[in-house]
Structure 1
């Protein structure tokens, strides 16, 4: 994959302290981008920025550490406020942060199933709140790091928190389908990408061999390049644009998901 210059771009990467998120941040920084590194805690984010600053060709001034625990929606709001004030022009938001679904059904303090909140609702809220920054200049875009597992999923509209019937794999897949559907929201140009099965913290859930995180990150970074033309709602399996699950392309599902997500985040967006 050719190296392209991103020195004029400012990119926020959620979940940038490990795995694909860290590698995405590293590859963006090497290409000259200003990178906002999100971590769950201040220490995590600052440690990731420190590791990146030691990379050849990366200037510490390019890196900005930000923290928010996505299991608390008020922290997502605070993150968005900081970004809008400090970086009123944001070129790309990479919605990457994700958690493996726990063995047992778990709710956050906000009352949402934890996987649905961390993997989707927090990103929904963050994207909505960052819309002014993303649309300040032409070319702003969102890249949702999804999974091919969205094809196995269904959104339980009457029970999105899966209180009646919980399966960790089904909960994770539902969160990925929601993230993929959300890419078709018309407010901000967005795409979804399955980066391949990579060796990250999520891998043990599926007991599969994975590619290096850097390989998956390269597919995410490519979509951050303004020279790569994208169509709102498009879905990529690594470098190839393909059709997502049929449910991800239905206008009714986009509207229904926006209504549900707005209710669950308290209309903060």
Structure 2
């Protein structure tokens, strides 16, 4: 993306206190001259990330911060309101924040399995609530950071909390399958003009690495992929799943329109949008 095209673009990156999110934010400001809203779980974490970026030479006028614990849907809704109050137009939303599933099944205060809420329900709610700001830009893009592990997942429609059969890999894969299916649903049924893609940024050396392998690539490599997918110069297939920079082969469920609609209705109910 050229500097001229990037000028004035606003990008919200969740999970920007470290890892892929932090490096993606840095690239978007330095290389793309976009205004980036840094999200972190706490205000202190977001401000610390902002301070590190500024010390690294990033223009402070191109940064702002927001905070929400994605394990609390009320905080997610409050963040959406806060972001729209300061940024009535959001060109790109990067749903990057995610957690590795805990060893033992854990429920949030909202009553949902932790991994499913943080990795899927919170991004779903944030995206839906930010739709007015996204649509206001004319050509909005949602970039959902997915995982190749979504292909091994299944949606346990009657027990999404996995109260009967819990495993770290199963709940993580389920959360990323839901996010990838939601992405396709946004392309099929979302607001006119919205482009949504999901992307597996590679096996990376982050806190999620134990779910994949013992060896991962540098975070900067993955951030380069995600930042590239945010660029208006990067032509993408609406609703597609990308394995790094190339279209990948998603789970067969991703093409199931009935599953998309079922997930959307269920998600709206679980997040209080019905």
TM-score in same-fold range (> 0.5):
yes
Deviations 1:13-62 (Å, cap 9, x if unpaired)?
Answer: 00001111111011001021100000000110000011111223x21011
Match of 1:197 among 193, 203, 214: 203
Q: Which moved more, 1:183-192 or 1:37-46?
A: 183-192
User: Unaligned regions of 5+ residues in structure 2, if any?
Assistant: none
What corresponds to 1:34 in structure 2? 35
Partner-residue secondary structure (3-state), 1:183: helix
Deviations 1:116-175 (Å, cap 9, x if unpaired)?
Answer: 000000000000000000000221010000000001000101111111110111000000
Partner-residue secondary structure (3-state), 2:158: coil
User: Unaligned regions of 5+ residues in structure 1, if any?
Assistant: none
CA RMSD of aligned residues (A): 1.2
What corresponds to 1:75 in structure 2? 75
TM-score by length of 2: 0.94
8 Å CA contact 2:203–2:212 kept in 1: the answer is no
Q: Counterparts of 1:209 and 1:234 in 2: how far apart (Å)?
A: 27
Q: Which moved more, 1:27-36 or 1:225-234?
A: 225-234
What corresponds to 1:168 in structure 2? 168
Deviations 1:169-214 (Å, cap 9, x if unpaired)?
Answer: 1000000001100111231421000000001111134442000011
Match of 2:242 among 236, 256, 266: 236
8 Å CA contact 2:94–2:145 kept in 1: the answer is yes
TM-score by length of 1: 0.96
Q: CA deviation at 1:96?
A: 0.3
Taking the TM superposition and a 5 Å limit, the aligned residue runs for 1:124-143 are 124-143=124-143
Deviations 1:194-249 (Å, cap 9, x if unpaired)?
Answer: 00000111113444200001100111111111121223211110011123111112
Q: Counterparts of 1:159 and 1:100 in 2: how far apart (Å)?
A: 19
8 Å CA contact 2:106–2:114 kept in 1: the answer is yes
Residue 231 of structure 2 is aligned to residue 211 of structure 1: no
Higher helix share: 2
8 Å CA contact 2:156–2:162 kept in 1: the answer is yes
Q: Counterparts of 1:192 and 1:208 in 2: how far apart (Å)?
A: 24
Aligned length: 265
Partner-residue secondary structure (3-state), 2:120: helix
8 Å CA contact 2:141–2:195 kept in 1: the answer is yes
